[in-house]
């Protein structure tokens, strides 16, 4: 059987696709990139915004229209929050809610009439299509969230916190590393809540990964800033832990943060940033900002802008607020006018570009080990530009001979100049790390 997997939304959804791909292949089925030739299509949907829900519906209809003979399973947050609607969409054979995601492959193979003969059950090789030919993989370590930020529907959709066993995570990482995966990203709905149901915490998991795996690079997905403990900071003494964190701020105004039910004030956030920069002056801190949250006054907006400038993030992920049915924020008074939200978003995008370029500038002249991607583009007749990432997650482009291959290799490069969306670099030496 040929299985095609699609996703919308967050990195956690991507991690779940990789898990399903492994499970389908272990059951003897083939994962394919071609949706039009698949016997079974699985869509991991999103509902973080109303627009995301709309895109999920559109994708489901499009997939069925292009391959009407394939069985179609829909999972994810849209399918969980709008189960009856999803079940009613043309072509949908099964809806698997978030709480049953761990059983999705078993349900597909046992409940759908898939008259197929496994052809790969004894074949060795890479387990997951989503890691083959790549150098990094997302590792889902937990699901669910105990917090209820007033703007967030995802925690409602995902349910209670549930962590994977440490040894299960380690086994997955070791298997991926044997497939030449050199970088893993730990992800979860509430990554900092890992182990709350196991009597453990995220630091325990990371220490176990450092001790029991050899994967060279370990990155962390989005972390709530109020959960960074003293022993967490000490993890960065190990060079395998990459000096980049995505810490969602959401607003630089304390009064807005209170309406959002966020648990970190701006002063506490600033102290975290100071601590991280003391650990490593090149530490890259990126964040999420919501523009136009209900009741956001001009004074609060200016407070937010000034605080964001003060912190100096490496990159901003900017979201214009839109009401989401089922959240407390959707019931709050004094919505911000769309024209004002648009103006503020433009201001913030401009500031974000300025901060990103400044962070690029601050890193010029330094040498970093770069893990190179497989993608390249031709430069003249006999040269190519290859791309990779520094430990602090700066995208780097380097021109090399067309005869040379650096895919999935790590070499030292010196950052030389800025080219808008990435940094130009020269190889510092020919040695591989």
322-340 pLDDT, tens digit each: 888 889 999 999 999 999 9
Domain 2-111: assigned CATH number? 3.40.50.12160
pLDDT value at position 150? 93
pLDDT value at position 432? 54
Whether residue 80 contacts residue 97, with contact meaning beta carbons closer than 8 Å, is answered with: yes
The tally of CA atoms less than 13 A away on the side-chain side of residue 174 is 12
Sorted by sequence, the CB contacts under 8 Å of residue 129 that are 6+ apart come out as 21, 25, 31, 32, 33
pLDDT value at position 130? 32
CA dihedral 58, 62, 63, 67 (to 10 degrees): 160
Count CB-CB contacts under 10 A for residue 258: 12
What are the domain boundaries of the chain? 2-111, 136-360, 367-432
pLDDT value at position 377? 86
Whether residue 243 contacts residue 236, with contact meaning beta carbons closer than 8 Å, is answered with: yes
Whether residue 388 contacts residue 396, with contact meaning beta carbons closer than 8 Å, is answered with: yes
Give the span between the Cα atoms of 375 and 398, in whole angstroms.
12
Q: Which one, of 22, 197, 135, 167, lies nearest residue 409 by Cα?
A: 135
Count CB-CB contacts under 10 A for residue 261: 14
Give the span between the Cα atoms of 202 and 220, in whole angstroms.
10
Q: Which one, of 261, 263, 264, 313, lies nearest residue 288 by Cα?
A: 313
136-360 folds as pyruvate-formate lyase- activating enzyme (3.80.30)
Under-70 pLDDT residues of the chain? 113-134, 429-433
What is the secondary structure of 327-387 as a DSSP string?
SGGGG-SSPPPHHHHHHHHHHHHHHHHHHHHHHHHHHTT-EEEEEEEEEEEEETTTEEEEE
* 3-state helix/strand/coil string of 28-94: CCEECCCHHHCCEEEEEECCCCHHHHHHHHHHHHHHHHHCCCCEEEEEEHHHHHCHHHHHHCCCCCE
Tell me the helices (H) and strands (E) count for the chain, helix number first: 13, 17
Give residue-wise pLDDT tens across range 126-169. 233 233 336 888 899 999 888 889 998 877 788 889 999 999 99
User: Coil, strand or helix: which one is 429?
Assistant: strand
**Degrees to nearest 5, angle at CA 247 with 245 and 249:** 155
Sorted by sequence, the CB contacts under 8 Å of residue 97 that are 6+ apart come out as 75, 79, 80, 83
Count CB-CB contacts under 10 A for residue 42: 28
pLDDT value at position 430? 52
pLDDT value at position 323? 87
Give residue-wise pLDDT tens across range 365-410. 999 999 998 878 889 889 999 999 999 999 999 999 999 999 999 9
What is the secondary structure of 275-316 as a DSSP string?
HHHHH-TT-EEEEEEEES-TT--HHHHHHHHHHHHHHT-SEE
Kindly report the pTM of this predicted structure: 0.79
CATH of the domain spanning 367-432, picked from 2.40.50, 2.60.40, 1.10.3470, 3.40.50: 2.40.50
How far lies 382's CA from each of 6, 104, 385, in Å? 36, 48, 11
Burial label, 85 (beta-carbon count in 10 A; 0-12, 13-18, 19+): middle
Give the span between the Cα atoms of 38 and 41, in whole angstroms.
7
Residue 162, both tokens: 């549930």
User: Coil, strand or helix: which one is 187?
Assistant: strand
pLDDT value at position 120? 32
Give the span between the Cα atoms of 8 and 74, in whole angstroms.
11
**Degrees to nearest 5, angle at CA 191 with 189 and 197:** 95
pLDDT value at position 133? 39
Give the span between the Cα atoms of 92 and 84, in whole angstroms.
11
């Amino acid at each position: 059987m040929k299985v095609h997997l699609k996703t919308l939304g967050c990195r956690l959804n991507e991690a779940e696709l990789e898990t399903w791909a492994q499970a389908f292949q272990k059951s003897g089925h083939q994962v394919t990139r071609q949706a039009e030739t698949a016997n079974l299509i699985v869509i991991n949907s999103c509902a973080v915004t109303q627009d995301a829900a709309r895109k999920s519906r559109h994708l489901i209809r499009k997939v069925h229209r292009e391959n009407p003979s394939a069985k179609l399973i829909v999972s994810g947050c849209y399918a969980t929050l709008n189960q009856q609607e999803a079940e009613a969409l043309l072509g949908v054979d099964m809806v698997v809610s978030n709480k049953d995601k761990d059983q999705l492959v078993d349900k597909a193979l046992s409940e759908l009439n898939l008259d197929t003969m496994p052809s790969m059950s004894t074949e060795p090789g890479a387990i997951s299509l989503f890691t083959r030919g790549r150098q990094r993989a997302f590792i889902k370590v937990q699901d669910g969230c105990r917090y209820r930020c007033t703007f967030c529907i995802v925690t409602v959709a995902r349910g209670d916190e549930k962590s994977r066993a440490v040894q299960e995570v380690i086994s997955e990482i070791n298997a991926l590393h044997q497939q030449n995966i050199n970088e893993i990203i730990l992800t979860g709905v509430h990554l900092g809540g890992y182990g709350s149901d196991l009597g453990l915490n995220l630091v325990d998991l990371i220490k176990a990964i450092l001790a029991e795996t050899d994967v060279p690079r370990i990155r962390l997905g989005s972390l709530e800033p109020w959960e960074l403990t003293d022993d967490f900071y000490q993890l960065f003494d190990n060079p395998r832990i990459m000096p980049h964190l995505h810490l969602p701020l959401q607003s630089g105004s304390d009064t807005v943060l209170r309406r959002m039910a966020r648990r970190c004030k701006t002063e506490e956030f600033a102290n975290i940033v100071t601590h991280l920069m003391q650990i490593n002056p090149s530490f890259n801190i990126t964040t999420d900002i919501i523009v136009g949250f209900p009741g956001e006054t001009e004074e609060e907006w200016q407070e937010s802008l000034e605080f964001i400038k003060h912190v100096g993030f490496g990159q901003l992920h900017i979201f214009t607020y839109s009401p989401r049915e089922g959240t407390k924020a959707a019931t709050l008074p004094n919505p911000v006018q769309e024209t004002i939200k648009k103006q503020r978003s433009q201001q913030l995008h401009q500031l974000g570009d300025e901060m990103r370029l400044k962070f690029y500038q601050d890193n010029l002249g330094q040498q970093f080990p770069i893990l190179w991607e497989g993608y390249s583009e031709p430069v003249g007749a006999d040269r190519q530009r290859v791309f990779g990432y520094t430990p602090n997650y700066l995208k780097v482009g380097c021109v090399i001979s067309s005869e040379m291959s650096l895919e999935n290799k790590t070499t030292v490069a010196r950052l030389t100049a800025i080219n808008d969306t990435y940094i130009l670099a020269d190889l510092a030496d020919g040695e591989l790390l």
